[in-house]
A = this chain, B = another copy of it.
């Protein structure tokens, strides 16, 4: 896997004044898009993917709709129809353009979207320079920044998908140096004692609503693999006929394998008997000791079943990593200077998201926020699985032990991999 992040000190400083932080996050989104051709900004390769242009506009619409319109007196909306075009799923805010048709809009042009961003950024600067900022408003702005950081990760996964389906194998950036952690030689089982634990976010730190409330949960004794499953380990599963044997698979997983004709993870290609993989730096030979990536929950679960093991629950995962130093390969603002990740510790963050066996459900006592912001997370709590840990496409200061990512079990275009668990 191509790492596109570093463990060096964050350039985006959580403690920095909000104004600085706003500017840094917003610049990061544009920095990610800098290598794109205008044409790349347009594509919606599958319904899950949004055109990069849309991400740039939608994150801007979030600040315009939830902050500038209600809180900045005299603010002038940039374009009366952008609310319709760039609302993602907030029913309370009104009608919106159908999601699967985002790739059909040539207008506004990319240049207009950048002007939209500049317009909103100028107004946000006006708002932020007025002192003091009300704490509730500050919280809303910080939510907007986390929202934009989520879309930065989606930008990277979506750009990868857009380029990878192109038979010309275009390169996003060729200065991204792969630096696979040497995972191959060091697997061990880490044992954790059962008992009553607390998980979930403390109320004094930023967290999304779905990480709350912090609550007690009971765990059996359990063990986690000390590292992620590697490409060479996953290849053994393929060679053992993993994709041909129904017995390793959930019923829905097996149906998906057959209807989609899956024979390997997404982006793998067998050329003249050798495995290659499409990366953000183009087509590369498969690296044995990198973590396997772009597998669905179905594949992660089938691999674990084949091994006679299972996936961790999200509580097991969270308890295991609590108090561990946060290391790994994350997205950083300075994409030009990636450096090797520190792998001396057991790697739980960065690299790839780790599928858990937990369905994405509300924590005991979960409360949906009032208003449109309440649509942020709760309404997706059905038919999705939790992933933990963050990936090389996740912003370093965006990740934390309590973070709950979630996707349907068939999802493969995210940077998602496998950690084994056992009793």
Q: Please, what's the 1-or-0 string for A224-249, where 1 marks a CB less than 8 Å from any CB in chain B? A: 00000000000000000000001101
Report if A162 contacts B (CB, 8 A). Answer: yes
Which residues of A (283-306) have their CB < 8 Å from a CB of B?
297-298
The answer on a CB contact under 8 Å between B247 and A107 is no
Stretch touching chain B among A5-13, A97-105, A128-136, A259-267: A97-105
A361 to B379, CA, bound (A): 20
Q: What residues of B have a CB within 8 angstroms of the CB of A110 in the complex?
A: 38-39
Could you list 21 A-B pairs, sorted by A, with CB under 8 Å? A37-B107, A39-B39, A40-B107, A42-B42, A43-B104, A85-B168, A91-B254, A97-B167, A103-B104, A107-B170, A108-B168, A196-B196, A216-B218, A249-B379, A250-B382, A251-B380, A252-B382, A297-B382, A364-B423, A365-B423, A383-B409
Interface residues of A in 370-417 (CB under 8 A from B): 374-375, 379-383, 409
CB of A382 within 8 A of CB of B253, answer yes
Q: What does the 1/0 interface line of A40-76 toward B look like (CB < 8 Å)?
A: 1111110000000100000000000000000000000
Cα-based distance from A71 to B270 in the complex (angstroms): 36
> A344 an interface residue at 8 Å Cβ cutoff?
no
Q: Which residues from B are CB-within-8-Å of A53? A: 39
How big is the A interface, by class? 35 or more
Specify which chain B residues have a CB less than 8 angstroms from the CB of A85 in the assembled complex.
167-168
A143 within 8 A of B: no
Q: Are B166 and A107 in contact (CB under 8 A)?
A: yes
